[in-house]
Structures are given as C-alpha cells and as structure tokens.
C-alpha cells in the first residue's frame, strides 16, 4: 500500500480532494489504481487460457450481478452503463437486505466550512499557490466520462456499470474477482478494529468478505447521475490545470446508514447500518491515501503508478494530494483532525508528505511511480 494517513475518532468521515484520475473504493476516500492485465480473446495472461468451463461459470456470475436494464448507455471510454430499476439493483441480493426499506429522502449533508468568496464564484478560482488554476468538479457539465454523450438515466432508475467477462478475467480467479486482497493471513478475532498499528481492516481483514463498488451486494445507489467505479473527466495535468472533487463518507444520525457524498449536495448512496458489526455504531479509525495492487509481475515491483505517478516531495502541481481533511461528529459538523500519523510501506516506491496551513488545512501530498531503480 502507498501512503496512508490515519486518525482515531468516534463518529467520523472525510472531505478530501485528489489529483485525478480517480476510482471510488469503500472507505478509502476512495481512490484506487489497480494493476490490470491485457485480455485478448480467450487469452488473459501469457501462461493461462480461459477454458470453456471457466467462461461458462463467469457468464453465470455475470447474469446474476448484471441486472436487466431499463436503458443502456455506452460511454466513450468503452464502459456500458445500465439504468437499473432502483428497486431491483444488486444491493438487494444481500441476504440482510431482502426486506430493506429504501431510504428515499437523502440525509442532510455534513456542514462544511464557509468557503472564501473567490472559491464560491463559479466554483473556479486562482489559487495563491504558484497561481495555478484549480477547478472544482461539480454536478454541472461532464464530470464523468459517460456524461459526455449527454444521455442520462430516466427517473426511477440508477446507473450501474456493467461488469464484463474481461473484467473477471483480470482477476486471479472468479472467487477473487472484485475483492481486496489481504496483506497477510489474519486471525479474525485477534485484531482489534480500532488498533491503528494493526495490518487488518474492518470487518475481517478481507479474508472472506468485502469487495469494491457494486461488484457484490450491499451498497444502495440512490443518485441517477453518478456511477460508482467509472472514470472521472476531465483529469488534471502535470504543472497544468488541476481538477478537484469533494468526497464525504458519514453516518446519517437519523437512519444510522453510512452515506457516500460527492461535492456539497450529491448523496450518491449508502451502506445500510445492519451490514456492519463495529461500524454499526461509529467509526474509530479513518484513513486517507492511495493504494495499488503489487503482485510483483516477473519478480519485480509493479510499475503501476499511484496518483499522478510523482513522489510526494514534488509537491503542488505535480504530486497528488488530499486537502481540507475533516471528521464528521455526532452533530453532523466537520472538524479538522487534531492528531494524525502517516505510513508509506516503501518510500522508494510511493511516498507521503503531511502538511498543515490556513489555505488547505490538514493536507498531504502522496504518490509515486512504483518500479524504478530504487524500487526494484
């Protein structure tokens, strides 16, 4: 894993921005760049070939998770977006959600700090940092690639990216598809979920549960404008225009569901509280940062870049960053973290640099190229 910033807290969440491109992932505010293989026909690696039986099993799985679409939208980047009846979305395949009552009324968004006047006007302003232009991505215009064809899902539906055979073949197996791989084998009951130094994650260190986005049932989508797990556009450029996005994950004090929010007024969806053990009450640990999958192809460290591919030391305009980090308290107010720590598994591959000032609040730069002469 790359740089991570940690903070112990009771009821909590985050507001952050990063140098794009971005991918959403659960409880990491949220963004992941994964190592993917090249798929050509039935061949999905140099040494493996998908058998007809494997393809048959994959297709049965896809038939289960890809729900019948009311309308289908083809994204310019090749993604297929299915507009699914919100009452028939994959979330309700979860056994604990068979009789779940959909929360139709979005919760009150966490209260953010009052923005400076120059930040409010048109969501665009010139930063005092090197006078570079930073554009806040909002709900207006094309801010996901699939929006570029100007087609949206109809009322009563939610947009979900269709999973393909190629997506599954990139995983080690059908069983591993969509899952986060644990760093090491962990005894389920030996790791405290609020232990900052532990290598495990809630709820069971990804030994048997957990997956990304909507690849397994659980996340209830309510917004018809946002697709979880697709590319965001436009993207930032090195030493050029930077695009930012606000991300929130917080617990609705009324329903106790955990919500994903985008920008200041977009409630994307939620994870019902009855899906959790410790998180059913509150969070005791918050992490921000980047992550890559390193399977050491050919015996060397992966060349997968984290963030922009530049080290944290290169700073603003080059390295990726999170800024104005905040924690949501029981009053739904966002407060800056009072105590933080950082971790980079191998700073020669990916690094992190934690800072604090009046303009950006608690913030950090992070990222790196992966494989290089100092990261063999």
Q: Residue with structure tokens 């939620």?
A: 270
Q: Return the pLDDT at 223.
A: 93
125-129 mean pLDDT:
36
Q: Given a cut of 70, is residue 225 above it in pLDDT?
A: yes
> CA 122, CA 115: separation in Å to the nearest integer?
12
Tally of CB atoms within 10 A around 9:
19
- Answer whether 0.85 is exceeded by the pTM: no
Over residues 236-244, mean pLDDT? 90
Please give the pLDDT value at position 211: 75
* Token code pair at residue 86: 């919100």
Average pLDDT over residues 11-39: 32
Calpha distance 177→213 (Å, rounded): 12
Binned at pLDDT 50, 70 and 90, residue 181 comes out as: low
Say how far apart CA 17 and CA 321 lie, in whole Å.
7
Are 52 and 41 within 8 A, CB to CB?
Answer: no
Q: Which of 176-180, 210-214, 279-283, 307-311 has the lowest mean pLDDT?
A: 176-180
CA 290 from centre of chain: 10
- Residues 372, 376: Cα–Cα separation, whole Å: 6
pLDDT of residue 258: 94
Q: What is the pLDDT of residues 278-330, one digit of tens each?
A: 788 888 889 999 989 888 878 999 999 999 999 999 999 999 999 999 999 88
Of the two residues 293 and 191, the one the predictor is more confident about is: 293
Q: CB-side exposure of 204: number of CA atoms within 13 Å?
A: 11
Percent of the chain residues past pLDDT 90, beyond the cut: 43
What is the number of other CB atoms lying within 10 angstroms of the CB of residue 265?
10
Residue 145 confidence (pLDDT): 93
């Amino acid at each position: 894993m790359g740089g991570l910033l940690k903070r112990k807290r009771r009821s909590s969440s985050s507001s952050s921005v990063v140098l794009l491109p971005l991918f959403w992932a659960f409880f990491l505010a949220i963004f992941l760049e994964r190592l993917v293989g090249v798929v050509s026909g039935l061949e999905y690696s140099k040494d493996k070939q998908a058998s007809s039986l494997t393809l048959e099993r994959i297709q049965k799985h896809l038939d289960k998770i890809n729900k019948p679409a009311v309308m289908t939208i083809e994204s310019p980047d090749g993604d297929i977006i299915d507009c699914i009846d919100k009452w028939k979305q994959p979330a309700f395949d979860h056994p604990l959600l068979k009789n779940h009552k959909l929360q139709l009324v979005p919760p009150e968004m966490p209260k953010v700090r009052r923005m400076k006047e120059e930040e409010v006007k048109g969501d665009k302003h010139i930063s005092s940092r090197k006078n570079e232009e930073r554009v806040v991505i909002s709900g207006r215009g094309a801010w996901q690639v699939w929006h570029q064809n100007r087609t949206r899902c109809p009322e009563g539906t939610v947009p979900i990216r269709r999973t393909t055979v190629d997506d599954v073949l990139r995983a080690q197996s059908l069983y591993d598809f969509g899952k986060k791989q644990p760093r090491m084998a962990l005894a389920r009951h030996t790791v405290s979920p609020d232990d900052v130094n532990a290598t495990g994650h809630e709820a069971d260190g990804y030994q048997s549960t957990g997956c990304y986005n909507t690849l397994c049932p659980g996340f209830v989508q309510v917004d018809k404008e946002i697709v979880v797990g697709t590319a965001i556009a436009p993207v930032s450029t090195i030493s050029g225009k930077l695009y930012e996005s606000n991300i929130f994950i917080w617990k609705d004090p009324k329903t106790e569901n955990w919500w994903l929010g985008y920008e200041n007024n977009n409630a994307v969806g939620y994870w019902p509280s009855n899906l959790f053990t410790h998180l059913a009450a509150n969070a005791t640990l918050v992490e921000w940062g980047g992550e890559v999958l390193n399977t050491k192809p050919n015996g060397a460290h992966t060349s997968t870049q984290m963030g922009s591919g530049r080290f944290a030391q290169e700073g603003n305009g080059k390295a990726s960053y999170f800024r104005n980090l905040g924690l949501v308290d029981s009053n739904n107010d966002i407060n800056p973290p009072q105590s933080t720590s950082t971790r980079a598994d191998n700073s020669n591959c990916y690094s992190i640099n934690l800072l604090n000032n009046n303009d950006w609040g608690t913030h950090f730069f992070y990222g790196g190229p992966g494989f290089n002469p100092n990261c063999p």
